[in-house]
Amino acid sequence: MIEWDAAKIKAFQTTLLDWYDRAGRDLPWRHDQEPYHVWVSEIMLQQTQVQTVIPYYERFMDWFPTLKALADAPEERLLKAWEGLGYYSRVRNMQRCARQLINDYDGQWPQTAAELTELIGIGPYTAGAIASIAFGEAVPAVDGNAYRVFSRLLEIDADVAKPQTRTVFERAISRIISRERPGDFNQAIMDLGASYMTARQPDSAHSPVKAFNQAYLDGVEAQYPVKTKKPRPVPVAYVAVLATMADRWLMVQRPSTGMLANLWTVPLLAVTDLDLADDATDAELLHAVTTTFTKDYQLTLTDVQLVSGRPVTHTFTHQKWTIRLVRATVQPADLAYFDGRAVTEKQLAALPMPKVQEKVFVRYQAETKDR
């Protein structure tokens, strides 16, 4: 890691901010410095690309224009607004944070990063982003862009996959950040990280800060940032039960904790819970599905059949699901004890569902048309 003197720091600030004034992106959440707007955008942008976020942000502001609207929203509507964005605890934590602000802070945002970190769902990065952008506090906002940009500029060799590395970057950036325009400085770093200083195939030769990019000047840019690899997703097998009662689909809500919390899917049975031998036949599978389904949902399945075709696969960060599809019907009288909903096609649209559920429906329709 190299050090910059005061003159070089000043020159870097000027170069970076001049470029940002000239070429910074016009994004919907940059039209003002409302902390609510900054906050919503920053939460959406966690692990998510700008192009994906823009339409979600516009709709979110339409549905929940104020902190109070968000605090008062039904969770189903909230999750619907987030449907397809992933990491769904983000939006549930946002509502908890909105209520926290209203109840404990008189509806007023605290204005320092140190205080913002106390709020639910706001960690070191988001606190720095809100404090600098909305309130002008000269604090770093260390995200993936900052790791990428500053590891190259300063040849920082610390492993960015390790939590304690963040403090290394915070200390370095704290010395370099503009005291006059900290919010613009942090956003300029993000724009730089999304344009010239990308993860793959950076274009440092044309970067406005190439003269400050030590790794580039030394021809070792490809080495940065240093990051250890994550383990591969573990395989998990399910059977999806597409069950109807008259013209209604049987849908169940996932538990309030863990993966896809509180989202809706068709009943999913873990194959490990079916107690099947490795060489089990389709008939044995369907029998096990029928008995397990009855035990789990107090419903009797009839006309149980395997939907032909390949299983649906869906890869999460840490799990790879393989889902076989089973079609069945249930008797209306049984629904009294069903812990879920029997919904029409139209009602289905109001339920927040994960992407993997959409894949299951799409596959089912593809397999059953013209039959």
Partner DNA sequence: GAGGCGTGGTC
Partner DNA sequence: TGACCAAGCCT
Exposed / middle / buried, residue 253 (Cβ in 10 Å: 0-12, 13-18, 19+): middle
Minimum CB distance to DNA, residue 111 (Å): 17
Measured between alpha carbons, how far is 261 from 298 in angstroms, rounded to an integer? 22
Give the residue with the Cβ less far from DNA, 261 or 268. 261
Contacts of 262 (CB under 8 A, 6+ apart): 75, 79, 88, 92, 253, 254, 255, 256, 352
Active site annotation includes 170? no
Give the residue with the Cβ less far from DNA, 13 or 187. 187
Measured between alpha carbons, how far is 52 from 84 in angstroms, rounded to an integer? 10
Minimum CB distance to DNA, residue 129 (Å): 6
Minimum CB distance to DNA, residue 318 (Å): 4
Whether 89 contacts 261, CB under 8 Å: yes
Measured between alpha carbons, how far is 334 from 330 in angstroms, rounded to an integer? 8
Give the residue with the Cβ less far from DNA, 262 or 329. 262
Minimum CB distance to DNA, residue 54 (Å): 10
- Six token digits for residue 354: 């994960």
Residues that bind DNA (CB under 7 A): 25, 27, 41-42, 45-50, 52, 84-89, 93, 120-127, 129, 143-145, 148, 162-164, 187, 190-191, 193-194, 198-201, 227, 229-232, 258-261, 314-320, 354-356
Measured between alpha carbons, how far is 215 from 225 in angstroms, rounded to an integer? 10
Beta strand 341-343 pairing with 319-330: unpaired
Give the residue with the Cβ less far from DNA, 224 or 328. 224
Q: Considering the candidates 3, 42, 155, 284, report the single residue annotated as catalytic.
A: 42
Give the catalytic positions in this structure: 42
